Structure 1
Amino acid sequence: MALHIVHFEHQGRARWGVLRENQIIPVPGHFATTGEFIRGTSHDELARLSGPGLAESEIKLLSPVTRNQQFVCQGANYRQHMIESGMDPDAKTFNMLFTKAQSCIVPADSELVKPAHVRFLDYEIELGLVLKRELAHGLTVTRANLHEFIAGIVIVNDYSARDVQLPQMQFYKGKSYRTFGPVGPYLCLLDARDMPRLEQLQLTLTVNGEVRQHDSTANLVFGPAETLTELAGLQDLVAGDLIATGTPAGCALSIPSPRAQRIAALLPEKTKWELFMKTQARRTQYLKAGDRVESRIVSADGSINLGVQRNRVVDESRGAHEHEARLRAIHSPGDGQP
Structure 2
Amino acid sequence: MKLATILIDGTSRAARVEGETYTALAAADVRELLEDPSWRTKAQEPGERYTAAEIRLAPVVPAPGKVVCVGLNYRTHILEMGRDLPEYPTLFAKFADTLIGAHDDIVLPPESGSVDWEAELCVVIGATVRRATTEQAAAAIAGFTVLNDVSMRDWQFRTREWLQGKNFEASTPIGPVLVTPDELPGDVRPALTVTTVVDGEEMQRADTGDLVFDPVALVEYVSTMITLRPGDVIATGTPGGVGHARKPPRYLTAGSEVVTTIEHIGSLENTVRSES
Task: State TM-score, norm by structure 1.
Answer: 0.75
Cross-structure match for 2:91: 97
The whole-number CA distance in structure 2 between the counterparts of 1:22 and 1:122 is 31
User: Is residue 122–residue 287 contact of structure 1 (8 Å, CA) maintained in 2?
Assistant: yes
Whichever residue aligns with residue 83 of structure 1, its letter is L
Please identify the structure whose Cα radius of gyration is greater: 1
Relative to its length, the structure with more strand (as a share) is: 2
1:43 has 2:7 as partner? no
- C-alpha distance in 2, partners of 1:73/1:103? 15
The alpha-carbon deviation at position 21 of structure 1 amounts to: 2.8
How far apart are 1:81 and its partner, in Å? 2.7
Q: In 1, distance between residues paired with 2:183 and 2:52?
A: 29
Equivalence for 1:311: 270
Aligned pair 1:114/2:114, yes or no? no
1:158 corresponds in structure 2 to 149
Measure, in 1, the Cα distance between the counterparts of 2:96 and 2:39. Answer: 26
Question: Percent identity at matched positions?
Answer: 28
Aligned alpha-carbon RMSD (Å): 2.1
Mind listing any 5+ residue stretches in structure 2 that lack a counterpart? Answer: none
- C-alpha change, 1:68 and 1:95, in structure 2 (3 Å) is closer
| Separation in 1, partners of 2:261, 2:40 | 24
Tell me by how many angstroms 1:196 deviates. Answer: 3.1
- Tell me the equivalent position of 2:164: 173
Count of residue correspondences? 275
> Which residue matches 1:63?
59
* Residue type of the alignment partner of 1:307: G
Residue 214 (structure 2) aligned to one of 215, 219, 223: 223
Residues 185 and 191 in structure 2, CA contact (< 8 A), matched pair in contact too: no
CA shift in 2, pair 1:229/1:62, >3 Å: same
Match of 1:140 among 109, 133, 142: 133
Write 1 or 2 for the structure with the bigger share of helix. Answer: 1
- The aligned amino acid for 1:39 is E
User: How much does 1:86 deviate?
Assistant: 4.4
Deviation at 1:121, TM superposition (A): 1.2
Greater shift, 196-205 or 220-229, is seen at 196-205
Q: 2: distance between equivalents of 1:22 and 1:58?
A: 11
Query: For residues 245-304 of structure 1, what are the alpha-carbon distances to aligned partners after superposition, in whole Å with 9 as ceiling and x for unaligned?
Result: 00011111228xxxxxxxxxxxxxxxxxxxxxxxx7x32x21111111101111xxxxxx
Separation (CA, whole Å) in 2 of partners of 1:160 and 1:254:
13
User: Which of 277, 291, 295 is equivalent to 2:256?
Assistant: 291
CA distance in 1 between counterparts of 2:184 and 2:121 reads 19
Q: Partner letter of residue 293 of structure 1?
A: V
Whole-angstrom CA distance in 1 between matches of 2:105 and 2:183: 35
